[in-house]
Each structure stands twice: as structure tokens, then as C-alpha cells.
């Protein structure tokens, strides 16, 4: 994800619009990076679960495992390697000037965001075409259940970053026009 600046790809997907807005909430980006780096959380799947919670859907452990099964290959083949290149370019080899490396890194970041957008487009289509997810009593309940099921697959998430994301979600207002499902 990004800071929501001008380089963020445009999409008609309500999931992508939700993700860009939610990622821009103070504290969310840093919490997501910590969840990603410390617990191997796929932030796109995390946002998919949260967006579905706004739609009144919660995901079981089996549902989350199916989402992971369907989307993991793209993340592992495209998103993660591109992210690794972008991060490595923060400290380029001496043979390449810092300015040249930063310009290249900026272009790599745009490609990474496009890979993430494509992943989210696939996730949105999955939400529209599958029978995954069950009705929930509230968005907060759906978010908690779905994320607990995600943790059951990956292992425990660091409490601080997870609490920051859930707190931001509890206070996040989604426009009615961003439902899409």
C-alpha cells in the first residue's frame, strides 16, 4: 500500500478504495508494516477481511484458508519479490548513485502497488463469485472473528499492531457507496 499519493493506481473496486482510505488512517500503515514483517500477514488479505466486515460478512478458518490458497501464489510470485527489490534499493550498492537508485525505487514502488491492486481485484472477484463468508452481527464482530481465524492459520499477530488496526477499524467510516457487494 501507499500513502494515498498520486502514484496510487486507480480502481473501481470498492475493496481497493477501502484499502487506500484505510491505509491512510494515522497509525494504520505502520501497524500493517509491523504485522507484515513480524507475523507474515498479507495486508491485502487483512484488508479483504476488514472490507468484508464492513459488508456484514465474517470468514471462518476454512474460508480464510481458501482465500489464502487462491491468492497466495500471486503474492509469492509477484508482490513479495517486487517488495524485496524496492526495500533493497533503500541502500543501493556504491556503484549506483543514491539519486538514480531512488528514481528506480520509485518506479519499482509503482509496480509493487499495481501488483497489490491486481491482487485486490482478484480478492474482490472472489468475494463476488464465491460462497465464502457468513453473515455477521456487526462489522466489529465480523472483523474480530475473521482476523482471529487468520491468526489461527499464521500464528499469533503482535498485539500492539493488531490492536492499532482494530481500533482504527472500529472508528473508520466507510461511505455507503463503497459497498460493492
Residue 58 included in any domain: yes
Give the structural domain span for 148. 14-171
Q: Which residues pair with 134 in a beta bridge?
A: 58
pLDDT tens across 76-122, in order?
Answer: 999 999 999 999 999 999 999 999 999 999 999 999 999 999 999 99
Question: How many domains does the chain divide into?
Answer: 1
pLDDT tens across 11-32, in order?
Answer: 678 999 999 999 999 999 999 9
- pLDDT for the residue 9: 63
Q: Which residue has the cell 470468514?
A: 59
At residue 130 the predicted structure's pLDDT band, cuts being 50, 70 and 90, is confident
Cβ atoms of residues 61 and 152 within 8 Å = yes
At residue 174 the predicted structure's pLDDT band, cuts being 50, 70 and 90, is confident
Residue 8 included in any domain: no
The share of the chain scoring above pLDDT 70, in percent, equals 90
- Of 122, 123, 118, residue with least CA distance to 9: 118
Residue 54 included in any domain: yes
Cα separation, 165 vs 177, in Å, equals 23
- pLDDT for the residue 4: 44
Sign of the CA dihedral with 53 first, then 54, 57, and 62 last: negative
Amino acid at each position: 500500500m501507499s500513502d494515498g499519493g498520486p502514484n496510487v493506481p486507480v480502481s473501481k473496486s470498492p475493496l481497493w478504495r477501502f484499502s487506500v482510505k484505510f491505509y491512510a488512517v494515522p497509525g494504520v500503515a505502520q501497524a500493517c508494516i509491523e504485522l507484515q514483517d513480524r507475523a507474515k500477514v498479507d495486508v491485502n488479505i487483512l484488508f479483504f477481511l476488514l472490507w468484508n466486515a464492513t459488508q456484514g460478512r465474517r470468514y471462518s478458518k476454512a474460508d480464510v484458508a481458501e482465500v489464502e490458497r487462491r491468492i497466495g501464489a500471486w503474492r509469492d510470485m509477484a508482490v513479495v519479490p517486487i517488495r524485496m527489490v524496492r526495500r533493497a534499493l533503500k541502500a543501493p550498492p556504491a556503484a549506483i548513485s543514491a539519486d538514480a537508485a531512488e528514481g528506480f525505487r520509485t518506479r519499482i514502488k509503482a509496480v509493487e502497488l499495481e501488483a497489490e491492486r491486481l491482487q485486490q481485484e482478484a480478492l474482490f472477484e472472489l468475494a463476488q463469485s464465491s460462497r465464502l463468508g457468513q453473515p455477521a452481527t456487526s462489522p466489529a464482530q465480523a472483523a474480530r472473528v475473521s482476523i482471529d481465524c487468520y491468526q489461527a492459520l499464521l500464528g499469533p499477530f503482535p498485539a500492539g499492531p493488531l490492536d492499532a488496526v482494530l481500533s482504527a477499524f472500529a472508528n473508520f467510516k466507510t461511505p455507503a457507496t463503497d459497498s460493492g457487494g
